[in-house]
A = this chain, B = another copy of it.
Amino acid sequence: MTLNQLRYFAAIADSGLNITLAAERVHATQPGLSRQIKQLEDELGFLLFTRKGRSLTALTQAGERVLVHARRMLDEAGDIRALAANQRGERKGRLTLVTTHTQARYVLPAAIAATRHAFPAVSIRLQPSDEAEILASLTRGGDELAVISTSGAVPGAGVAIPLFRWRRVVLVAAGHALGRRRRAPTLAELSALPLVSYESSRRAESSLRRAFEGAGLAMQLAMTAHDADLIKTYVRAGLGVGILAEMAVSPADTDLHVLPAPTALPECITWAVLPQGRVLRDFTLRLLRELAPQIDASDLRRVLAGNAAPDWPVPPAWKDLHRAVV
């Protein structure tokens, strides 16, 4: 049993049991992986995969169990490498940041720019992902940092650090009836209108959808997209009333009317989520401190060491942060 064998094993499991694909991902050849897996199976004394003909069909039950431990070992090995890179002052590396489009487009740029400025040799990879997949991909390994939003609840996996609070806004095209007034429309008023919002609003867990359901109102989703810019475009085109995060409206959007969202829509919190107990590279920590300057450094260290999370302070509202910056 070698670390390489376990690495190959995990890669195959992560590549849909396609050895050829896994071989590319680990920068090795396919026969090499096949052989190492066979050797590992020989050493352990049982099959890790069920096979049909020559191709892999599934992990065996025992293989699943081995995989759990193998992943932990690989994570620990990664920790040692990260530790070593920090120790010797290595300033280059890769930082994978998995997040949603709105965060990437409107929230993260300043923090990422500052981090890149401090670590010019670091390659930062923005990995857009669905909210649902983000947490899974974090624990699965590989990704170091996620930035996601919830309506209040603390994310389940990993170590979650609250960054800021934000609310939704209602966006209407110039000339729309709602645009003539300043006050927030009610949920009932919105219920009568076609809406344009995020793809995630279709999900059962969506706080937008739950708010309508909780009020016993129907929600007409005329259109959804992952991308706030697309939503704005289609609001301009008259497809409906836009509902999106306040971070996504900029002063440049002069042709759109911005109204507060109904108070029935709950406030949201954007979190940074880190894998539990993983050693972070210096530049990851730097990015984290850019994103959450209000968090106490020693609290941060303690929580990263794997101790229980403290009661985080209530994070600032996005509005206030934004005013301060401008």
CA A147 – CA B62 in complex, angstroms?
A: 30
Q: Which chain B residues lie closer than 8 Å to A62 at the CB level? A: 83-84, 87
A69 & B65 in contact (Cβ 8 Å cutoff)? no
Q: Which chain B residues lie closer than 8 Å to A76 at the CB level? A: 69-70, 72-73, 76
A81 within 8 A of B: yes
A77 & B73 in contact (Cβ 8 Å cutoff)? yes
CA A261 – CA B65 in complex, angstroms?
A: 49
Residues of A within 8 A of B (CB-CB), count: 26
Q: How far is the CB of A307 from chain B (nearest CB, A)?
A: 14
| Contact pattern, A 250-291, Cβ under 8 Å of B = 1, otherwise 0 | 000000000000000000000000000001000000000000
A84/B46 contact (C-beta < 8 A), A72-B76, A73-B76 known: yes
Q: How far is the CB of A4 from chain B (nearest CB, A)?
A: 9
Q: Which chain B residues lie closer than 8 Å to A279 at the CB level? A: 69
A84 & B3 in contact (Cβ 8 Å cutoff)? no
CA A70 – CA B65 in complex, angstroms?
A: 21
Pairs of residues from A and B, 7 with the lowest C-beta to C-beta distance, nearest first:
A45-B88, A44-B84, A73-B76, A69-B76, A62-B87, A69-B80, A69-B79
B46 & A69 in contact (Cβ 8 Å cutoff)? no
CA A50 – CA B138 in complex, angstroms?
A: 36
A66 within 8 A of B: yes
Given A44-B88, A62-B87, A69-B279, 9 other A-B residues pairs in contact with their CB atoms under 8 A? A1-B3, A2-B3, A44-B84, A45-B88, A46-B87, A62-B83, A69-B80, A72-B76, A73-B77
CA A70 – CA B84 in complex, angstroms?
A: 13
Q: Which chain B residues lie closer than 8 Å to A77 at the CB level? A: 1, 69, 73
CA A22 – CA B73 in complex, angstroms?
A: 23
Query: Could you name 17 residue pairs across A and B whose Cβ atoms are closer than 8 Å?
Result: A1-B81, A3-B3, A44-B80, A44-B84, A44-B87, A45-B85, A45-B90, A46-B84, A46-B87, A46-B88, A62-B84, A66-B80, A69-B76, A69-B83, A70-B76, A72-B76, A73-B76
Closest to A43 in B: B84
Q: Which chain B residues lie closer than 8 Å to A2 at the CB level? A: 2-3
B70 & A80 in contact (Cβ 8 Å cutoff)? yes
Closest to A83 in B: B65
Q: Which chain B residues lie closer than 8 Å to A79 at the CB level? A: 69
